[in-house]
Structure 1
Amino acid sequence: MSILIADSGATKTEWCLKSADEQKIIKTEGLNPYYHTTESIERVLDQGLSKQLEDKADISDIYFYGAGCDSEEKKEVVNTALNASFPDATIHLFHDLLGAARACFFDKPGIACILGTGSNSCLYDGTKIVEHIPSLAFILGDEGSAGYFGKQLINKYYRFELPDELKKDLEENYDMSLEHINEGLYDGSQKSRFIASYASFLGKHDDHPFVKKMLHEGFENFITRIVMKYTDALKYEVRFIGSVAHGHQEMINGILNEHGMKAGQYISKPMKRLVEYHSIEVH
C-alpha cells in the first residue's frame, strides 16, 4: 500500500506518492477552493494526476494540505472531489498552514511562516495551531508575499515612483499596459497569481537600492505587524516555508535579529519534510 501527500498553494500543487520502497513526485495546478469548484478540481485530478498514477486502488490514505481549506465549507469542496477520484482511500484534509507548521517543526513548538505567492503564519504548539493572525489575502494584507510585492511594484510604476532604469527594464520584460493589468485584475480567475507574477522582477534586481528598500519594508511589515504579535513571540524560533522567504534569508534574518527574534530554518519546499513526518506517523 502507499500514501499520497499533497501540498497545494495558490499557484501549484505538489503531490508525493510514497510507498515502502519508492516515491514519485507529480505536479498539478493549485487547487484553492476559493478559486476552484468541486467539478474543476475533479478535472485537474483526472487530467493532471490520475493519469500519472499506476494503481489508484493501492493508495490507502491521502494527506491533503491546501491553501483556502480554512473552513468546513471550503474543505468540503476539496473533500468531495478527492472522494470521487479516490473512493478507496481515506482522506485527511488540512489547511496548508498546518502543513507548514508540521514541515517546519514536526512535534516542536514555534512560529511557522509562509512567504510565497501569499503569506501566512501561526503559533504552533507541536501538535496544533494555537494562534493565527489572518493574512487577509492579497487585497488587504499578505505582507511580505509575492502578491504583496507585485502589487507594490505595479502601484509604484503607475505613480511614477520607479527609477528610470527600473522602469525601462520592467517595460522591456513585462506587459505594463493598463489594458493588460485591468484584464488580469478584473477578468482573471486567479488575481493573486497574476499580481504575484510581477514580483519576480524584484528578485532579479534585489541589489538595487530602491528594490532593497521595498523588500525590507515588506518583510519588516510582516514581522512587526504579524509575527511579533503572537503571545511570547520572542521566546520561539521562527521558521519559514516558501520561495520568497528562501530567496531573501539574509534580509529576513537581519530584521528578525533587529527585533530580538530567533531566526530559524528556511524551507523552500515542504514536501520532503511532510513525507518524513507522515512516514514517522505511519510507522
Structure 2
Amino acid sequence: MSILIADSGATKTEWCVKSADGNKIYKTEGLNPYYHTTQSIKDVVENELRAKLDDGIEITDVHFYGAGCDSEEKKERVDAALTYNFPDATLHIYHDLLGAARACFFNEPGIACILGTGSNSCLYDGEKIIEHIPSLAFILGDEGSAGYFGKKLINQYYRFELPDNLRKDLEENYNMDLDHITKELYDGSQKSRFIASYASFLGEHEDHPHIKEMLYEGFENFITRIVMKYTNASDYEVCFIGSVAHGHKDMINGILEKHGMKSGRYISKPMKRLIEFHSL
C-alpha cells in the first residue's frame, strides 16, 4: 500500500509515491483548476503519471496540494479527475497554501509565504490557516513573484525605462516581439506562466543596479503590503516556499530585518518537507 503526495503550482506538479519500499518522485505540468478542466487534469494524470507508475502499485491515499484549489468548486474539479485515476483511494484536496504552511512549520505557528510563478501567504496556527490576505493574482497583485517581475520588466522595456545594456541583452535572448507578447496575453491559456518566464532575466542580471532596485521594490511591497498586515506579525517567523524566494533570500532577509520581522527557513521545493509531515 502506498500514499501519493502532490505539490502542484502554476508551472509544474511534483508527485511522490510513498511506500514501504521508499519514495519515488514524478513530475507533470502544473494542474491549476483555474486553467485546467476536469478532463485536462484527468488526461495529464493518466498519461504523465499513472503510465509511469509500477504495475500493481496500490494507492490508498492521495494528498493533493494545489494552486487554485481555493474553493469547493475548484477542489471538486481536481477531485473528479483524481477519482477517475485512483478510484479506490481516499482523496484529500488542499490549497497549496496549507501545503506551504505544513512544509514550513509542521505543527508550529508562523507566517508561510509562497514566492514562485505567483505569490501568496497566510498566518498558520500549527493546524489550520487562520488569516489569509489574497494575492489578487498576477493582474492585480502577486507582489514579489516571477509573474510580477516579468510584468514589470516587459512594461519597462516598452516604456524605454531599461538601461541600454539591459535592453539590448533582453532583445538578444528573449522574444520581445509585441505581436508575440500580445497574442500570448490575449489568446494564451497560461498567461501568468508566460509572463513569469521573462523573470528569469532578472536572475541572470541580479547584480545590475537597475535590476537590484526592481527586485528590492517587489519584495518590499510583498512584505510591507501583505506580510506585515497579519495580526501580531512581528511575533512570528516568516518562512518562504518557492524558487524566487530561495534565489533571493539574502535580499529578503535584509528587508525583513529592516522592518523588525523574524526570518525562518527558505524552501525551494516543499516536497521533502511534505513527505516528512505525512510521516509524523
Report the TM-score range of the alignment, normalised by the length of the smaller protein: over 0.9
Whole-angstrom CA distance in 2 between matches of 1:152 and 1:253: 22
Whole-angstrom CA distance in 2 between matches of 1:58 and 1:68: 28
> Is contact 1:50-1:56 (8 Å) kept?
no
Whole-angstrom CA distance in 1 between matches of 2:234 and 2:55: 48
Kindly provide the amino acid, as one letter, of the partner of residue 53 in structure 2.
L
Which residue in the other structure is 1:248 paired with? 248
1:55 to partner: Cα distance: 3.9
1:183 to partner: Cα distance: 1.0
Whole-angstrom CA distance in 2 between matches of 1:84 and 1:190: 25
Whole-angstrom CA distance in 1 between matches of 2:264 and 2:253: 8
Confirm whether residue 131 of structure 1 aligns to residue 131 of structure 2.
Answer: yes
Confirm whether residue 154 of structure 1 aligns to residue 154 of structure 2.
Answer: yes
Aligned length: 280
> Quick check: 19-28 or 237-246, which moved more?
19-28
Q: Which consecutive residues of structure 1, in runs of 5 or more, have no partner in the other structure?
A: none
Whole-angstrom CA distance in 2 between matches of 1:11 and 1:3: 23
Whole-angstrom CA distance in 2 between matches of 1:261 and 1:56: 50
Kindly provide the amino acid, as one letter, of the partner of residue 161 in structure 2.
E
> Is contact 1:122-1:129 (8 Å) kept?
yes
CA-based RMSD of the aligned residues comes to 0.7
**3-state SS in 2 of match to 1:244:** helix
Kindly provide the amino acid, as one letter, of the partner of residue 42 in structure 2.
E
> Is contact 2:2-2:57 (8 Å) kept?
no
> Is contact 1:115-1:145 (8 Å) kept?
yes
Kindly provide the amino acid, as one letter, of the partner of residue 188 in structure 2.
G
Whole-angstrom CA distance in 1 between matches of 2:86 and 2:207: 48
Which residue in the other structure is 1:212 paired with? 212
Q: How does 1:1-283 map to 2 (within 5 A)?
A: 1-55=1-55, 58-280=58-280
Whole-angstrom CA distance in 2 between matches of 1:43 and 1:269: 25
> Is contact 2:234-2:260 (8 Å) kept?
yes
> Is contact 1:112-1:238 (8 Å) kept?
yes
Whole-angstrom CA distance in 1 between matches of 2:20 and 2:57: 16
Q: How much identity, in percent, do the aligned residues show?
A: 77
> Is contact 1:116-1:145 (8 Å) kept?
yes
> Is contact 1:133-1:226 (8 Å) kept?
yes
Describe the shift of the 1:202–1:152 C-alpha distance in structure 2 as closer, same or farther (beyond 3 A): same
Describe the shift of the 1:240–1:123 C-alpha distance in structure 2 as closer, same or farther (beyond 3 A): same
Whole-angstrom CA distance in 2 between matches of 1:21 and 1:265: 29
State the 4+ residue runs in structure 1 displaced beyond 3 angstroms: none
Q: Deviations for 1:216-259, whole angstroms, at most 9, x for unmatched residues?
A: 00000000000000000000000000000000000000000000
Kindly provide the amino acid, as one letter, of the partner of residue 85 in structure 1.
N
TM-score (norm 1): 0.98
1:56 to partner: Cα distance: 6.2
1:21 to partner: Cα distance: 2.6
Q: Deviations for 1:68-90, whole angstroms, at most 9, x for unmatched residues?
A: 00000000000000001100110
Q: Which consecutive residues of structure 2, in runs of 5 or more, have no partner in the other structure?
A: none
**3-state SS in 2 of match to 1:170:** helix
Q: Deviations for 1:190-229, whole angstroms, at most 9, x for unmatched residues?
A: 0000000000000000000000000000000000000000
Kindly provide the amino acid, as one letter, of the partner of residue 267 in structure 2.
I
> Is contact 1:64-1:93 (8 Å) kept?
yes
Whole-angstrom CA distance in 2 between matches of 1:213 and 1:55: 52
Kindly provide the amino acid, as one letter, of the partner of residue 116 in structure 2.
G
**3-state SS in 2 of match to 1:39:** helix
Whole-angstrom CA distance in 1 between matches of 2:118 and 2:192: 8
1:57 to partner: Cα distance: 5.4
**3-state SS in 2 of match to 1:3:** strand
Kindly provide the amino acid, as one letter, of the partner of residue 158 in structure 1.
Y
> Is contact 1:56-1:86 (8 Å) kept?
no
TM-score (norm 2): 0.99
Whole-angstrom CA distance in 1 between matches of 2:275 and 2:198: 32
